[in-house]
Amino acid sequence: METKENVPTNFQENMEFVNNLMTRLELPPTHEPQLHALASKGLPEFNLTIPAERDGIQTSNELKFEFSKEAQRYYFNEWTSKITNLPDNEKASVPMTMHVNSIHQKNNLTLEESISLRLRGSVEKTLTYNKKVKEGETPQPAPEKSEGETKEKETVTLVKWKKMDFSQLNDKGQYPVREYQYPKLEEHLRQFSIDKKDDEDYMRKVLYCLRKGRVYPVKVGTGDVLLTRYLEVDAAKNVILQHPKNVRKVLTQGPGMQQGAESGTTVPPAATSEQTPNQNLSGASTSVNQVPPDKNTPGMNTGGQHPEAAEKKMTGPEGPGPTPPANSFTGQRAKPEKPEKGKKHSNKL
The dihedral sign for the CA sequence 325, 245, 227, 124: negative
Average pLDDT over residues 48-71: 93
The dihedral sign for the CA sequence 227, 281, 284, 257: positive
Res 31: pLDDT: 83
H/E segment holding residue 210:
helix 200-211
**Alpha carbon distance 279, 291 (integer Å):** 14
In 3-state terms, what secondary structure has residue 127?
strand
**pLDDT tens, position by position, 97-123:** 999 998 889 999 999 999 999 999 999
Q: Which of 191, 198, 219 is closest to 332 using CA atoms?
A: 191
**pLDDT tens, position by position, 145-181:** 445 555 566 888 999 999 999 999 999 999 999 999 9
* DSSP code per residue over 6-73: T--TTHHHHHHHHHHHHHHTT--GGGHHHHHHHHTTT-SEEEEEEEEEETTEEEEEEEEEEEETTTTE
Q: Are the beta carbons of 81 and 96 closer than 8 angstroms? A: yes
> What is the pTM (predicted TM-score) of this model?
0.68
**pLDDT tens, position by position, 247-305:** 887 666 644 333 322 222 222 222 222 322 233 222 344 333 332 333 332 322 233 33
Q: Which of 320, 308, 208 is closest to 266 using CA atoms?
A: 308
Cα-only R_g, the chain = 24
Q: How far apart are the first and last CA of the chain?
A: 66
